[in-house]
Structure 1
Amino acid sequence: MKPIRYTIVPKQPAAHLFEVTVTVADPDPAGQRFMLPVWIPGSYMVREFARNIVTLRAVNDAGRKVRVEKTDKHTWQAAPVKGALTLRYEVYAWDLSVRAAHLDDTTGFFNGTSVFLAPLGHEEAQCVVDIQKPEGAAYRNWRVATALPEARGTKRYGFGEYRAQNYDELIDHPVTLGEFALATFKAHGVPHDIVVAGRVIGLDMARLSADLKRICEEQIALFEPKSKKAPMDRYVFMTQAVTDGYGGLEHRASTALICNRGDLPVEGQDAPTEGYRTYLGLCSHEYFHTWNVKRIKPAAFAPYDLSVENYTSLLWLFEGFTSYYDDLILVRSGVISPDDYLGMLGKVVGGVLRSSGRQKQTVAESSFDAWVKYYRQDENAPNAIVSYYTKGSLVALAFDLTIRAQTDNRKSLDDVMRLLWQRFGHDFYRGKPVGVEESEIEAIFAEATGAQLGELFAEAVHGTRDLPLDTLLAPFGITLAPELDKNGKPSLGARVRGGADCTLAAVHDGSAAQKAGLSAGDVLIALDGLRITGSNLDSLLSRYLPGAKVEVHAFRRDELRTAQVKLDGPEVARYKLTVSDKRPAARKARERWLAS
């Protein structure tokens, strides 16, 4: 099978248009079909990337026009031709996220799922992509950042040809174009690049490199404690710094990240800010995916079918366990303190317990419904669903603490992850890919640890009862307690959307607001005759005691409503984890957990 050749050029940055060509040297004699993915691995929602293809035409190797028809929302059929077939098309790129493609006169970014049509039947053919520089002096300093291997003659960070073994590899390497800050470090001998696009004054790349090095080496050693061998030859962290944004998407040898520029470290800054700790947690999360989901995969993802939803009930393990390890790795690597970690964990506990959806949906159900619920949340989401990320991370915590307690710290969740890695992930891209079946998870946990975990599986994974975290933390000398709003003010039991007006974004089940007939979308305008704005609701509520009855005026659409509200008590701001037992046994168990 002959290689598939692509070119991509930022043809009109001001119009946000990439021009892409794909050439098939040996097209299907019956007429070559092309498909663009409808979703991108790691983000479980059908996004219809084909909607961004603006124009498309086909020619044969003599340059003559070839008829091409669209057969469904993401598939094209070309007429039969002799010789090579080339498609030339424009892609509109104006999605400043980690999932799609973005282009303007300052920077460019794309995932292959958004720009590279797949010639059906040729998915296993080698791919060569020529990444070209936009025309004009304004772009003379632009560079290319990607983990795609360079073809012969192309310099690292340079425009030119890059290669991939097949289409799956081609679309698993995002690309950043433009001017960017760059640093490189080695983690257990493997080079790792840090790329930061976007304006950040005084960016401390030395500190960022040092912190990420510790995080990466800790994760490599977790999966390969003896050899400390990373699963890739090179890795790239690529970050887009913006005014307001957060997110990440994993790939086999890189990650695409977006963050607030204020969260990045600045030269001369002593203590790490909360925003920087959050950013490092994001980096840690996506890096952990290098093993857990990019190589250790659910059977439903081995291989992906990018034309339809791929359902699995295991995202609690692949996303939730990754969410557990992301912050745990920060403390194990020494990037944050144990107290910082316990504080971060307390926030996760508080976030999960504030949502009544946890009592209605299991993490297995949440995983399966990700396509239609988690990624399509509405105003009722807190009352209807539970996050397989956050609840999943607490499920991982419960498993880890239970295994450690039952085995006197001889075994832990680390042993489960290592067994999954050796059995499913280590050789994933070297032979026939095999994914994890849902039916074999419990047996794998038992084999790796020898612990009795059947009851925990039933309650934590397939049940909706709250996890007994206070009981599980006790042998480690840690207490868990709710921490009420420090001002003790009463509550409406609703979440408010920021802005000039005070608009209810969500109303919690059984809350004062719900009992009084208020709903998400209502605009609160007065409390006992005093005007409510987007910034003064807390101040107004602080004048009352829990249980007080107040009159609230609100607009629902264009109709004025009056509600009699009996205020709830103070909300739980978070849950606090405190080291309460410093005796040797508890201290040793705690240290083994946080420093394994």
Structure 2
Amino acid sequence: MHYHISVSDPQSHFLQITYTVPEISSDSIEIQLPAWRPGRYEIQNFAKNIQFIEAISGTDQKLPIHKVTKDRWRVVTDGQKEIRIKYAYYAAIQNAGTSYVDEELWYLNFINFCMYTEGRISEPYTIRLDLPENYSIACGLPFVGENRLYARNFYQLVDSPLLASATLQRREYLVRGVEFKIWMHGNLKPNWWRIVRDFRRFSREQIATMGEFPEANYHFLNLILPNAFYHGVEHQNSTMIVLGPDDEGEGLYSDLLGVSSHELFHTWNVIRIRPKELLPYDFTKENYFRTCFVVEGCTTYYGDLFLRRAGVFNDEAYVKELQVYMKRHFENNGQSRQSLADSSFDLWLDGYEKGIPNRKVSVYHKGALVAMILDLYLRKKTNHAQSLDDVMKLLWVRFGRPFVGYTLEDYIGIVEEVAGETLEWYWHDCIFTSEPLESRLNEALAFVGLQMSTFSNGNIQLDVLDDFKAMQQREIWLATAQSKTDLEEEDEAV
């Protein structure tokens, strides 16, 4: 399979795409455009951005093509062994899951506009880009020539976003043999020394905790806008992040750290440790699953926790982030009637909209809080001998590394194996019902010297208690996974 992508008029925001299908042996083929993208579990109907489409034979004759669904076409091959599908796609939106082209930038999410031929989704692809001469490319796909990329199958292709521009900025760092690249596009002058130092620290902490990294290299693709924005999407060996405004203030930098650490942990949690219902992805329809509280909740919890363990955040900054989760849950969704598991399932219905009052909860915010409750309960019960770290590592070894997919029952089994007991209270109060979370949360927080207070006006505040024993427990909870000597020697060498 082959894709040729060009932009004849950057101001129009249209991609001109030619999809070549070789080795055809049937009277007709069907080609499918995805209806959704990994990382955002809602139907998005990318086909609405296709302006026109046509099928061309090897002798440049038009072939019959017509729709069979909203995003699927049937082509009568007329005995042709190879055909080309030509179409134009409107790429004019800048968020972490879209595509955009203009005079300065190509930002491509192949999931938006690339098709596959029914029955041939596992075949390899090459992609040729007609880029301006002075453009450089940031992408997790391997190069097979100038402006030519290779994907071993459709799944890898559409899980590898791309930035290309003459003004891309880049820095690199190495952790345990893994090459990391940080790419920036936007009107800013990054403090690269600080960025590389902090990114190395949280990357090192995550790999030390999980024991190994799933990929040989990794790309942080950052698009910095002049307007306020915050969005990130995980991918196989990269993440696409869109942030703003480009004022280079501490708020922008804190957002960059938080979303980058979150998305990096997704390299284990969902890219490889994936719910069985999503393996493999079916891009034509909803893929329902009830464990998004693991996918996004645990990742949200760990994103900031790793920043604290790595020394990028201090205690004050970390407590501030915890308070954000609490305020967003209790002030917005504390009275919601839907369970966390049901809200996971209903992401496909309205998970990314505000929705009606007191219905759903956030798999991110409540998911992070119940992950913390579980982590602190395991630590208290075992004097820190067991924790949520052990749950995630078992998920990795049994389901992520072999890439076989886990079920809700598998997750429950691993949690209770680590706990050494059944946890009916946890599943009932935190996951499968809409029981109020305040008492369970404060019981867990007390172990590490924290307390959440709810005021009469509904506001939430998280306080640090002056308790020496609890402070000791908090230090253990937030301790790095590596020895300080190793960290100091590595930092000094760098």
| Residues 319-330 of structure 1: pairs in structure 2 closer than 5 A | 319-330=296-307
User: Where does residue 78 of structure 1 map in the other structure?
Assistant: 75
Tell me the equivalent position of 1:334. 311
Match of 1:587 among 453, 466, 471: 471
Deviation at 1:390, TM superposition (A): 0.2
Shift of 1:466: 2.4
Q: Once the 2 structures are TM-superposed, how far is the Cα of residue 264 of structure 1 from its aligned partner?
A: 4.4
1:92 aligned partner: 90
Find the partner of 1:216 among 197, 200, 203. Answer: 203
What amino acid sits opposite 2:274 in the alignment?
Answer: K
How far apart are residue 355 of structure 1 and its match? 2.3
Q: Offset of 1:297 from its aligned partner? A: 0.6
Match status 1:54 vs 2:68: no
* Equivalence for 1:542: none
Q: Quick check: 1:576 aligned with 2:457?
A: no
In the alignment, what sits opposite 1:306? 283
Matching residue's letter, 2:232: G
**CA-to-partner distance for each residue in 1:333-382, whole Å, 9 max, x for gaps?**
1001022111210121122111246431111011001111212334x35x
For the pair 1:10 / 2:7, whether they are aligned, the reply is yes
In 1: Cα distance, 2:353 partner to 2:333 partner: 18
Cα distance change of structure 1 residues 194 and 161 upon mapping to structure 2, 3 Å threshold: same
1:136-168 alpha-carbon deviations (Å, 9 max, x no partner):
xxx4432211010111x33xxxxx211111110
Instruction: Letter of the 1:5 partner, please give it.
Output: H
Query: Against the structure 1 CA distance between its residues 275 and 110, is the aligned structure 2 distance closer, same or farther, given a 3 Å change threshold?
Result: same
What is the CA–CA distance in structure 1 between the aligned matches of 2:308 and 2:334, rounded to whole Å? 30
TM-score by length of 1: 0.77
Unaligned runs of 5+ in 2: 482-494
Aligned pair partner of 1:422 in 397, 401, 409: 397
SS of residue paired to 1:376: coil
Q: 2:140 is matched with which residue?
A: 147
CA positional deviation for 1:452? 3.9
Partner of 1:535: none
Counterpart-to-counterpart distance in 2, 1:466 and 1:580: 27
Structure 2 residue 280 is matched with structure 1 residue 297 = no
> Partner of 1:247 in structure 2?
231
Larger radius of gyration: 1
- Which of residues 445, 448, 452 in structure 2 aligns to 1:480? 452
Given that residues 273 and 395 in structure 2 are in contact (C-alpha distance below 8 angstroms), is that contact kept between their aligned partners in structure 1?
yes
8 Å Cα contact 2:13/2:100 also seen in 1: yes
Residue 400 (structure 1) aligned with residue 370 (structure 2): no
Q: Which residue of 1 aligns with 2:487?
A: none
Give me the whole-angstrom Cα distance separating, in 1, the residues matched to 2:254 and 2:135: 30
Residue identity opposite 2:120 in structure 1? H
Once the two structures are TM-superposed, the CA of residue 571 in structure 1 deviates from its matched residue by 4.5
C-alpha displacement at 1:222, in angstroms? 1.3
* Aligned residue runs from structure 1 range 437-586, under 5 A: 437-467=407-437, 468-482=440-454, 570-572=457-459, 574-583=460-469, 586=470
Partner of 1:409: 384
Does the C-alpha gap of structure 1 residues 34 and 469 become closer, same or farther in structure 2, counting only changes over 3 Å? same
Q: RMSD in angstroms over aligned alpha carbons? A: 1.6
Greater relative contact order structure (CA < 8 Å, 6+ sep): 2
Aligned length: 475
Tell me if 1:186 matches 2:189.
no
In structure 1, the partner of 2:491 is none
Preserved CA contact (<8 Å) 1:248 1:257: yes
Q: Is the 8 A contact 2:245 2:252 kept in 1?
A: no
* CA positional deviation for 1:439: 2.2
Render the CA deviation track for 1:287-341: whole Å, top value 9, x for unaligned: 1100000001111100111100110011011111100001101100100102211
- 1:196-211 equivalences under 5 Å are 196-200=184-188, 202-211=189-198
Partner of 1:523: none
Work out the CA distance in 2 between the residues paired with 1:248 and 1:327. 15
The 2-side partners of 1:357 and 1:51 are apart by 37
- 2:292 is matched with which residue: 306, 315, 327? 315
Give, in angstroms, the shift of residue 253 of structure 1: 0.3
The yes-or-no answer on 1:21 pairing with 2:18 is yes
Deviates more, 1:443-452 or 1:292-301: 443-452
Contact 1:346–1:575, Cα closer than 8 Å, also in 2: yes
Instruction: Give the conservation status (yes or no) of the 8 Å contact 2:109–2:161.
Output: yes
Segments of 5+ residues of structure 1 without an aligned counterpart are 134-138, 155-159, 266-272, 429-433, 485-568
1:125 counterpart letter in structure 2:
E
Q: TM-score, normalised by structure 2?
A: 0.93
1:329, 1:241 → 2: CA distance?
Answer: 24
Of all paired residues, the percent bearing the same amino acid is: 31
**CA displacement 1:509-528 (0-9 Å, x = unmatched):** xxxxxxxxxxxxxxxxxxxx
Shift, 1:238, TM fit: 0.6
Following the alignment from structure 1 to structure 2, what is the Cα–Cα distance between the partners of residues 72 and 423? 38
- Distance in 2 between residues matched to 1:169 and 1:370, nearest whole Å: 24
Superposed displacement of residue 570, structure 1: 4.0
Q: Distance in 2 between matches of 1:91 and 1:417?
A: 40
Inter-partner Cα distance in structure 2 for 1:64 and 1:148: 33
Displacement of 1:480 in angstroms is 2.5
**Is contact 2:4-2:17 (8 Å) kept?**
yes
CA shift digits 1:74-133 (9 cap, x unpaired):
001110232211111111101111112111112121111112111111111111111221
Query: Is the counterpart of residue 359 in structure 1 residue 346 in structure 2?
Result: no
Q: Can you list the C-alpha shifts for 1:491-537, whole angstroms capped at 9, x where unaligned?
A: xxxxxxxxxxxxxxxxxxxxxxxxxxxxxxxxxxxxxxxxxxxxxxx
**Match in the other structure for 2:490:** none
* Counterpart-to-counterpart distance in 2, 1:287 and 1:121: 32
Q: Could you say which residue in structure 2 is the equivalent of 1:372? A: 349
Q: How far has the Cα of 1:42 moved from its partner?
A: 0.5
The Cα shift of 1:215 comes to 1.0
- Corresponding residue of 1:35: 32
Whether the aligned pair in 2 keeps the contact of 1:407 and 1:451 (CA below 8 Å) is: no
1:403/1:451 contact within 8 Å kept: no
Q: Does the 8 Å CA contact 2:25/2:81 hold for their aligned counterparts?
A: no
Contact 1:358/1:386 (<8 A) preserved: no
1:415 offset after TM fit, Å? Answer: 0.1
The one-letter code of the counterpart of 1:442 is: I
- CA distance, structure 2, for counterparts of residue 263 and residue 448 of structure 1: 45
Are the equivalent residues in 1 in contact too, given 2:224–2:243 (CA < 8 A)? yes
1:239 corresponds to which letter in structure 2? N
2-structure distance, mates of 1:145, 1:464 = 44
